[in-house]
Structure 1
């Protein structure tokens, strides 16, 4: 008896959860970055999200909790998503530098390249890349069929034939200064337009 669409989706979700759990275990046991006893900061959100948020490095609150987008940036993003009428369950967020190292230059390039594994597991429809450091990593990953994304805030670009990209300023640098907040919002609100135009499932 053939599987229904719901059963097929459930199988894909189970696989994504399993693969993210495996990646988590690999990250937690990875000896490459000089992080001492601190644990890596893990991605969070839906394992098959349409929207993949990518930020460069963790803040102290993210390091303390071990979760990407925990703290002020997460709160600001949740408010922004609500304002844009985007379902938070459609979002997965992660970091390029997952290990809490004193200087991001100390992060192992192989560890940062694990973003490609997360991207392959989640299979998003858009990558929202925050800041020029995160953009440089995304472009260096050379994802299958990808083309370079330009640092043009608020413009939806093609990352691959089936995945879009949106460059926005780094949210962590946009929280304390009014003009920086406006610049972030001006670019990020394009995600609302993109999301509203998504075809229904």
Structure 2
């Protein structure tokens, strides 16, 4: 008897969970970055999310919890997603520099390149790239079949034939000043338009 669509989706989800768990163990066991005994900051969210959010480096609150987008930026994003009527379960968030080193430029490039593995596992439909630092790293990673992205906040661009991209300012730098908040929101709300245009299947 052929598998149903639900059974096929379930198998893909199980595989994505298994692959992310394997990647997590590899990241936790990595000693390439000078982070000492502090655990890396891991991506979080749905293993097959439509929306993949990428930020440059962790804040202290994220280091403390070991989870990307924990703290003020995560709370602000949850409110923004709700306002845009985007299901938080359709989102996965991660960092370029997962190791809590004092200077993110000290993060080992092999470790940073794990973003490519995360993209391959999650297979999102759109990447929200937050800030010029994250954008520069993503462009340097040469994701297979990718085109370089430009720093044009709010513009819908194409990263690969199957993945769109929206660039925003770095949310971590936008929460304490009204003009910066408005600039972030102006770019981020394009994600709502993109999400509304998704086909219902």
Q: Report the TM-score range of the alignment, normalised by the length of the smaller protein.
A: over 0.9
Alpha-carbon distance, 1:75 to partner = 0.1
- Residue matched to 1:172: 172
Structure 1 spans left out of the alignment, 5+ residues: none
Structure 2 spans left out of the alignment, 5+ residues: none
- Residue matched to 2:157: 157
- SS of residue paired to 1:180: helix
Q: d(CA) in 1 for partners of 2:149 and 2:54?
A: 13
Q: Deviations over 1:172-192 (max 9, x none)?
A: 000101100000000000000
- Residue matched to 2:129: 129
Q: d(CA) in 2 for partners of 1:105 and 1:148?
A: 21
- Residue matched to 2:62: 62
- Residue matched to 1:145: 145
Alpha-carbon distance, 1:15 to partner = 0.3
Matching of residue 43 in structure 1 with residue 36 in structure 2: no
Alpha-carbon distance, 1:142 to partner = 1.1
- SS of residue paired to 2:133: helix
Alpha-carbon distance, 1:56 to partner = 0.1
- Residue matched to 1:89: 89
Give the count of matched residue pairs: 201
Alpha-carbon distance, 1:71 to partner = 0.2
Q: d(CA) in 2 for partners of 1:159 and 1:101?
A: 28
Alpha-carbon distance, 1:161 to partner = 1.3
Alpha-carbon distance, 1:83 to partner = 0.2
- Residue matched to 2:194: 194
Q: Deviations over 1:20-55 (max 9, x none)?
A: 000000000101001111000000000000000000
- Residue matched to 1:185: 185
Post-superposition, which runs of at least 4 consecutive aligned residues in structure 1 deviate over 6 A?
none
- Residue matched to 1:112: 112
Quote the RMSD (CA, aligned, Å). 0.5
Alpha-carbon distance, 1:91 to partner = 0.2
- Residue matched to 2:102: 102
TM-score (norm 1): 0.99
